[in-house]
Structure 1
Amino acid sequence: MKIIGLDIGSYSVKAIEVEMGLRQLEILDFFEEKLPLTLELPKPEVVKEAIKNIFLKNNIVPPYKVISSLSGLFVSSRIITLPFADKSKIKQTLPFELEEHIPFALEDIVFDYQILAKGEKNTTLLTLITPKDIIQERLSLFEIPESSPDLLTMDAISLFNLTKFNWEEPGEVYALVNIGRSQTALCIVDDGKINHVRSISIAGQAITQTIQENYKLSFEDAEKAKIDNGFVLTDTTNVTADQAKFSECIKKALDPLIGQLNQTFQSNRSKGHGVVRKLFLSGGSSLLRNLPAYLSQELSLEVVPLKILNSYTMNNIADNDENNAKVSTVLSLALGCVGRNYSEQFNFRKGEFSKYQAGPLGKEVRYLLGMGGLIIAILFVNMIGNYFILRSTLKKIDQQMVEVIKKFPLKISDNLLEDATQLRAFLTKKSKEQKEKIEALGGTKGDTLTTLQILQEVSALVPKNVLFDVRELSIVDGKIKIAAISDSFNSIDNIEKSLKNNPKFTKVAKGEISTASDGQNKDFTMTFDIKTAKK
């Protein structure tokens, strides 16, 4: 699945393209469309064009999911503890609890929440709230319906997504800080969970304006001086007066930001949370030379640049300081759409603002869903129809089978005809019995003569004018005994002589001879062996 993380800032519009396979995340590309450099925020039509260019110029085509964010300056966060743990009760009660914390009517806001902690009798929630007109204003910037975000969150809260993939937890409370042009986003993490989020309206533009005022430059020249030559000193040894002056100018702009960060960390600690020991720094303005060391000195904690790209083996973006600083926000957004993360995201696109319930794309989706439902219904009806046709066909086949079986020279009860399993067992048994009888008469393939062959051989030896009526014939281990009737002693001798002359028989011997019951013919027995073929 392709995912687009889209960050709409005041300096530029940035996008990152990632693809999630079965087990591996690949960072495909990073795009940036810079906005006009002015003191004021860029006009909506300019931002619209930049967003459109991001998709069209870079050939970003569907299917994909888009996740974007609102500035934290337009989002309020509240931590609320409720005296129960039932999820349905939380959902019903929370709106009324929020009324005490917001200066807006409930019908004018959209909120979302996540559970931070849950006990047997209470639940602590982190709730984000924003006015509906802010959401409407943001969504109006998307002229291409497909590029409209599937998920709309808050920039500071999304930084937490960076800790979900290929991240080594520092083992202490830490802060993720992104310094952009017009705001600084802050997310404090403790024991793998969000502890606090905040957006501060002091960032890179404050430095540019301070340089502009102190050195009487145009806004554009002050921006260039900051990017090309900006730095802050932690030690004034062996520096020129001009270097010290320039550094102090920038420090003057940073001091209010440092004060806000310190205040946030202290406030968080006063609520019983751990002390922030480490700060990961990102954002375009974090590239100011020696800024990590200066912040570390002023905040009394470890500050390091956020090196996020080297955490991904499948990455097509150059792993350098500038790219690491710029991609952190868009990558954190994109990661919100990966796996189970999606369901854990704060999302302001709900209700009337849901992507799939409003606007042109919503109509297309509803049309596709309707067509899909119609196709499923047709397939279901077809399946039911085929079922009844097959059932009727099988019933006719059963009737034909019963008619055929009734013609067999076997007596088969109606109960057997109704039970296929029992009928199969019955016919198998009868087939086996018939086979045994046939084998008994016809023998099996081998070297000895069969019963029928013996009778044929003996009958062929006796002259037709001689009475020879076989009454009994038995074969035991190749030894044959015949009980028969003939008309005289002479005929019996001739029969004995004929058997002895046959090459297939041996050890021919007459048995007892007696007068038959008619008083004229003779009863006699005769035994002989069957010669076996030489191998």
Structure 2
Amino acid sequence: MSAKIFGIDFTSGGLKVAVIEKQFRSFKVAKLVYRQLISDSPEEPARVVKETLKSEGYDGETDRVIAVFPSDRLTSRVLSVPLTIRKMISETLPFEIEPLIPFDAEDIVSDFLTIGPADDGSRILAVVAKKEDIEAFLNIYALAGLDPDMVIPEPVCAGREAKYRPTAEGEGGAEIYVNLKENAGSITVVKDQIPVSFHTASTGMKNGVEPLANEIKRQMLGGAGEATLNLVVLSGEQDGLDQVARKLESTLGAPVRISDMPGAGAALDSQRLAGQSETKAMFALALGAALIVAEGEENSSVNLRAGEYKRKPRIAGCRAQFFTAATLFIAGALAWTIAYFIDGAQLTGEYKALKAQIRSEFKQALPDVKKIVSEEQQLKNALAKLQARAKALGVGTGGVDPFLDFLSDITLCVPDDVKLDVEDMVYEPDSFIIAGHTGSFEKVDKLKKNIGNLPWTGKVTVERAKADVSGSGVKFRLEVRIVL
């Protein structure tokens, strides 16, 4: 069963959507979608996002929405913490970073990337956004009826491309990933494929290359120190990236490339305005966000859906049905258990009452018995003794002799095809002896089985069976034990 991952970026200009189809063990970038935004109001991106995802078959139960958060609403700090477990760092981060920023801990949302070890702890890149900015951002999606699974900062999405760059281009140094906008942009420093610092540029495309080159140098120095600048990668939807790349390369003395993320060559559905060029570099952020999730690295990435904005885990597809069924089963089992104990308590009360009544009846029936161990078994034993005594005394004790009933049962159980001549019959309280003549050994055996099936008979034994000297049949003698 496949699901879709929608990486969504409207940090500048238009709406960019990267659609990834995710299978259990694989994924592919299926489509790239661009839509123009014609106003700056929150309703405009909400409307366009809603229409776009609907046209791409978005399924709220199985698909995931990964939103790119703009860098101009972020601040960051690099710091060392005496912890290594991610959960513990997340819990203490707002208070660790509060002295370093001009905001109170209760007014911010924060998350981090681990960029290396530190003495007895970790060195981290902390990313901070104000709660009011997160709320305004999520409100745009809420207007579209969406609830993003993750909110990933723009610099983290841009720096994702370092994962796919050949190590020969950046081994032993640092790389800069620049997402250009009209009036600004984000500059992300990456070392060993991990973003280690970022900065929102105060200049953009319209201010020319020289101011941008100076900001890149300052960020390189602040984020990577004396490391060599091995590569600069440009992304964005602005026209003229190729020209900017050539001029920057000349100014910086380092290679400058245009973004080329995996999947950037996927099928394109674009509504660019007339005269605007279409470039795969404009989808770098949307692709970066979607690829983080597609490759299973969401738990180690920065996610600004933290704290009170944390999204509740969602169970998708058939798993949702399974867990719903499991929940119902557990609820049913709990209800049954409660009912069981309630019924058990009631039955226990009834059992005790019956037990007391049996004890009372026992004492009346057997007043001479002083030690009562098991009322049922002791009553059975007493009854068996009385029956044995009655049997020894015979019918004179006032009982009814069952002989006629026994004789009737034996007569009725003789098979229709068996001709039986009874020559002798002896009746005792515990047995019958029947001697006679019938047609064959087979008919003797059939008679034995039928008598043995009577409710009052025990063991039936053929004491004697032999052919008649005349050859006309078989003489036999049966012993039938009586069990009452």
TM-score (norm 1): 0.54
Which amino acid is 1:127 matched to?
A
Using the alignment, how far apart are the partners of 1:26 and 1:178 within structure 2?
24
Question: Displacement of 1:284 after TM fit?
Answer: 1.5
2:96 partner SS: helix
Distance 1:161 1:374, change over 3 A: same
Which of residues 262, 282, 304 in structure 1 aligns to 2:217?
Answer: 262
Using the alignment, how far apart are the partners of 1:336 and 1:368 within structure 2?
27
Q: Deviations over 1:51-81 (max 9, x none)?
A: 2222234443433101112211111111011
8 Å Cα contact 2:20/2:29 also seen in 1: yes
8 Å Cα contact 1:84/1:120 also seen in 2: no
8 Å Cα contact 2:170/2:230 also seen in 1: no
Distance 1:291 1:8, change over 3 A: same
In the other structure, the counterpart of 2:26 is 24
Using the alignment, how far apart are the partners of 2:295 and 2:256 within structure 1?
31
Please state if 1:377 is matched with 2:330.
Answer: yes
1:349 partner SS: coil
In the other structure, the counterpart of 2:181 is 180
Which amino acid is 1:253 matched to?
G
Question: Displacement of 1:155 after TM fit?
Answer: 0.5
Using the alignment, how far apart are the partners of 1:286 and 1:44 within structure 2?
25
In the other structure, the counterpart of 2:256 is 303
Which of residues 37, 44, 47 in structure 2 aligns to 1:46?
Answer: 44
Which of residues 336, 342, 347 in structure 1 aligns to 2:298?
Answer: 342
Using the alignment, how far apart are the partners of 2:181 and 2:200 within structure 1?
11
Question: Displacement of 1:289 after TM fit?
Answer: 4.4
Unaligned runs of 5+ residues in structure 2 are 270-276, 339-484
Q: Deviations over 1:396-447 (max 9, x none)?
A: xxxxxxxxxxxxxxxxxxxxxxxxxxxxxxxxxxxxxxxxxxxxxxxxxxxx
In the other structure, the counterpart of 1:192 is 193
In the other structure, the counterpart of 1:531 is none
Using the alignment, how far apart are the partners of 1:87 and 1:334 within structure 2?
22
8 Å Cα contact 1:3/1:66 also seen in 2: yes
Using the alignment, how far apart are the partners of 1:19 and 1:100 within structure 2?
43
Which stretch shifts more, 55-64 or 152-161? 55-64
Question: Displacement of 1:333 after TM fit?
Answer: 1.0
In the other structure, the counterpart of 1:148 is 147
8 Å Cα contact 1:162/1:335 also seen in 2: no
In the other structure, the counterpart of 2:229 is 276
Question: Displacement of 1:288 after TM fit?
Answer: 3.7
8 Å Cα contact 2:209/2:244 also seen in 1: no
Question: Displacement of 1:379 after TM fit?
Answer: 6.7
Q: Which has the larger radius of gyration?
A: 1
Which amino acid is 1:261 matched to?
I
Which amino acid is 2:179 matched to?
N
Question: Displacement of 1:156 after TM fit?
Answer: 0.9
Please state if 1:330 is matched with 2:305.
Answer: no
Which stretch shifts more, 71-80 or 170-179? 170-179
Please state if 1:133 is matched with 2:125.
Answer: no
Identity %, equivalent residues: 20
Please state if 1:253 is matched with 2:208.
Answer: yes
Distance 1:317 1:22, change over 3 A: farther
Question: Displacement of 1:253 after TM fit?
Answer: 3.1
Q: Deviations over 1:123-167 (max 9, x none)?
A: 211101111000000011124665321101211112233344x54
Unaligned runs of 5+ residues in structure 1 are 208-251, 386-535
Question: Displacement of 1:186 after TM fit?
Answer: 2.1
Which amino acid is 2:291 matched to?
L
Which amino acid is 1:197 matched to?
F
